[in-house]
Amino acid sequence: MSTRPTITEQVPDPETAREEGARKIAWARQHMPILAALREEFEAEQPLAGERVGMAMHVEAKTAALVETLAAAGAEVAITGCNPLSTHDDVSAALDAHDRITSYAEREVDEDEYYAAIQAVIDHEPTVTVDDGMDLVAAIHEDYPELIDSVVGGCEETTTGVHRLRAMDADGALRYPVFAVNDTPMKRLFDNVHGTGESSLANVAMTTNLSFAGKNVVVAGYGYCGKGVAKKAAGQNATVVVTEVNSRRALEAHMEGYDVMPMAEAAEVGDVFITTTGNRDVITADHFPKMQDGVVLANAGHFDIEIDLDALDDLAVDRYEAREGVEAYELADGTRINVLAEGRLVNLASPIALGHPVEVMDQSFGVQAVCVRELAENGDAYDAGVHEVPDELDRLVAETKLDAEGIEIDELTAEQREYMDSWEHGT
Ligand code: NAI
């Protein structure tokens, strides 16, 4: 691992760290009109007074704007990271300086430190949990079941977290209500598609200083994230190759004009590989020996299990840091395979990573904020299990954003509404 300071580590003393963190948060806040509007309402109405919100999320400036909004609503908030490499220490320090906020997040923690910080958040006895990957829900259910009765509910930010929660729910093991924030249109159609697309490609380009133009970019998984990565790579003049396991998604990619093939074939032609499946073992020992010299491998899925780095390490005869954030694995025939950000979410864990664009996270976190308020105000109305975000809350976030952008739209007339709701009008 690099010993050079990264973008998040260049600040020498705690006071300067807090100032720098506050400056980053202020910039994000300026571009988050949905959170600004909610914050004004929350400050006046204090809907979270008396609530303790526990959070495990990527601790950087946009998340900090959400945390401050929840604190402004009257909550006490304890937060830690949801990935050992994504925390910005200066932002964490700035949050921790707030009266009603405690931040345990630190960058480059080992596994024990990571879980100790999760435990520290749970020690605040949260009444609401906000997760990105389900770590808090899992730890509370496994290690602190006595707290479950006092939790009114939770919110889950990402696809992988929602998958895990649905599996838990199906087993009858999920004992409080959780909103699938990931699945609601105002999150998934923007954050997963545009956010992951833009920020993953930007981070691959910045970390390697290489161009996409003229390259074969292999996108593993053509779900919401994969669609964004593919579209934006094509927009940068790459030839896009898609690998899938789902026939309908494979056909969508084909009809979009991309080459579709199994990873065993894609391995031979790809220059850059970006995994977005949320699954494990997508690029494995079967594929590395087929790859060209100098290929770049990056993962944008939630966990660092999509590229089998242990297998790559076993195959390699040499391994070294080729650039900051780029680990080169050299095979016996001299082929160099370059892995970015240790196979963790490239848009959040590479040394220069800033995560999604601010505007996108304003939408995702606008949904989070209204969901936390819904739990505080109406939590009793929801049974234990995974819940869709109520449609009116999702729409409220869309309307707030349109207002902020000064965009007006048409309204259905009474006749149109009656026509759309009727089955009697035919030819
Ligand atoms: P999705 O469920 O819409 O798409 C995943 C796709 O991968 C599906 O079409 C599935 O058929 C395909 N797939 C599964 N196994 C595969 C395999 N072995 N080979 C090829 N394709 C395979 O999920 P979504 O929303 O696109 O999320 C994907 C991952 O990205 C999740 O882990 C999610 O948590 C994460 N995520 C990451 C973000 C980031 O900032 N990097 C932001 C949002 C989500």
Mean pLDDT over all residues of the chain? 95
pLDDT(335) > 60: yes
Q: In angstroms, what is the span from residue 373 Cα to ligand 1's centroid?
A: 29
Closest atom, ligand 1, to C-alpha of 243:
20
What is the residue with the minimal CA distance to atom 11 of ligand 1?
A: 246
Confidence tier at 5 by pLDDT (50, 70, 90): very low
Strand segments (E) across 10-136: 52-56, 76-80, 101-103, 128-131
pLDDT(207) > 80: yes
The predicted structure's pLDDT at residue 391: 98
Distances (CA, A) of 216 to 16, 285, 289: 43, 21, 18
Taking the C-alpha atoms of residue 186 and residue 369, their distance in angstroms, rounded to an integer, is: 13
The predicted structure's pLDDT at residue 425: 79
Which residues have CB under 6 Å of ligand 1?
A: 158-160, 191-192, 196, 220-226, 243-246, 249, 276-279, 282, 300-302, 345, 347-348
Taking the C-alpha atoms of residue 361 and residue 204, their distance in angstroms, rounded to an integer, is: 20
- For ligand 1, mutation pick of 135, 160, 192 (most atoms within 8 Å of CB): 192
What is the residue with the minimal CA distance to atom 25 of ligand 1?
A: 224
pLDDT(220) > 50: yes
Model pLDDT for residues 139-167, shown as the tens digit of each residue: 999 999 999 999 999 999 999 999 999 99
Mean pLDDT of 207-223: 98
- For ligand 1, mutation pick of 156, 157, 158 (most atoms within 8 Å of CB): 158
What contacts 90, CB < 8 A, 6 or more positions away?
8, 11, 17, 18, 20, 21, 24
Percent of the chain with pLDDT over 70: 97
Q: In angstroms, what is the span from residue 278 Cα to ligand 1's centroid?
A: 4
The predicted structure's pLDDT at residue 120: 98
Residue that has been written with the tokens 């838990």 in this structure: 168
Closest atom, ligand 1, to C-alpha of 355:
40
Phi-psi region of 177 (alpha: psi -120 to 50; beta: other; left: phi over 0): beta
Domains of the chain: 7-187+357-405 (3.40.50.1480), 194-349 (3.40.50.720)
What is the residue with the minimal CA distance to atom 40 of ligand 1?
A: 196
Confidence tier at 1 by pLDDT (50, 70, 90): very low
- For ligand 1, mutation pick of 82, 166, 191, 277 (most atoms within 8 Å of CB): 277
Taking the C-alpha atoms of residue 254 and residue 367, their distance in angstroms, rounded to an integer, is: 33
Residue 244 backbone dihedrals phi, psi, to 5 degrees:
-145, 165
Confidence tier at 355 by pLDDT (50, 70, 90): very high
Confidence tier at 424 by pLDDT (50, 70, 90): confident
Query: If we measure between CA atoms, which residue out of 248, 233, 242 comes closest to residue 266?
Result: 242
The predicted structure's pLDDT at residue 12: 63
pTM given for the model:
0.92
Closest atom, ligand 1, to C-alpha of 249:
9
Percent of the chain with pLDDT over 90: 95
131, β-bridge pairs: 56, 156
Q: In angstroms, what is the span from residue 26 Cα to ligand 1's centroid?
A: 32
Closest atom, ligand 1, to C-alpha of 345:
41
pLDDT(11) > 70: no
Strand segments (E) across 132-215: 153-156, 177-180
The predicted structure's pLDDT at residue 426: 76
